[in-house]
Structure 1
Amino acid sequence: YKDNPPKDWKDFFDTAKFPGTRAIDGSGSPLGGLIEQAILADGGKVDAMTPADIDKGIAKIKAIGPDTIFWKTGAESQQLAESGEADMIIMWTGRAMTAVKNGAAYTPVWKDWLVVMDQLTIPVGAKDPDASYALINAYLGKKSQEILTEQTSYSPINNEAQPKVDASVAAFLTNTPDHAKLGYQQNIKFWVANFAAASDKWTALMAGN
């Protein structure tokens, strides 16, 4: 796209202005797909979603039509990037970072990027919860998080961490102030209430219906 690269989700869905193949997470859950991003592309707000938005989002994804590739695994998304088969890809930053390390020619677009939550837990009845807390604290420490990024290509979740990576890899780090402020979190309450219906419709989309 040279001097006129896509800048947001609206551009991702605009195959007239930005022709080419889109690769999308089709691994089985609507949460990894583009329903929320389709709403954002139409100027909607994720925190104000209604059940009707599920159908609107899926319709917008369908409109991309034959220009869509649904990848099933992170490895497949990375392979698509490295082969250059897709012109735009929604993919995990760690996989994207590794693909670029291996020579893929992609640049991230950060506006309204999806922040995915995860957790570390201590089982009820653990023999030594203090040791568990210590392990978690060590894992989340600045040095440990720097090593994590340098060895795995996934961004640190400790904002004080400054891993030593080259510029092409640093472009994919999520914890920099400029990148962090552009992300958003899923409307989890909405998906808890509407997951079953969304999952059925997403499965139908994956089946070509």
Structure 2
Amino acid sequence: MYFLKKALLVLMGLFLTAFGTKLLTVSHLTFGGTAGISTLLTFSTGISWGVWFFVINLPFFILSVKRLGISFSVYTLLCISLISLINEFLKIAPSPGMHPLLIAIVSGLIIGTGVVLVLNNGASLGGIHILAVYMDQHLSINRGKTLFLTDFIIVISASLMVGFVHALYSIVTITIASYLAGKFKPQGTKNDDENDLTLEAQA
């Protein structure tokens, strides 16, 4: 029953994250991490976001196996696959009357909530999230700070493609999402957290 509850929460988190990133894509905004890189590649190649997200995350999956253990890595691979599929089937019509700043805020809240549900229940969304979990567990660097810094760099780089103003709106999204991810962590000791995240390997 406990496992089923965690699985349902992770699935809910994946749906929310996919919905948020899809909303950003149709609004010509972007995000950080591998999600943001996938969005930019979608803009430039026309190949779907889900395909790019899956391909880009494969090298990070290998790193996860070596550093964070097989259980965490398997959960993460499943999450990467599921969010790619969910994003492929989600259909969101663009809303011309909705201001990009409002879209950025709403997307940040949705994605941040989704990330919290995934990370707090034993998995990650791959890519930078693997790095964030590792640094949080082994170096005591808040995962929200890691996510914000890496996402900030990616979004600023993306300004060349989506425009400076849209990049600024995207920074609003990653600020909100990173804050939520760093704020709402599982309570307990370090060992409790490691058990929750099924981290088997030590640095």
TM-score when scaled to structure 1?
0.28
Task: Kindly name which structure, 1 or 2, has the bigger radius of gyration based on alpha carbons.
Answer: 1
TM-score when scaled to structure 2?
0.29
Q: Which has the higher helix share?
A: 2
Q: Which has the higher strand share?
A: 1
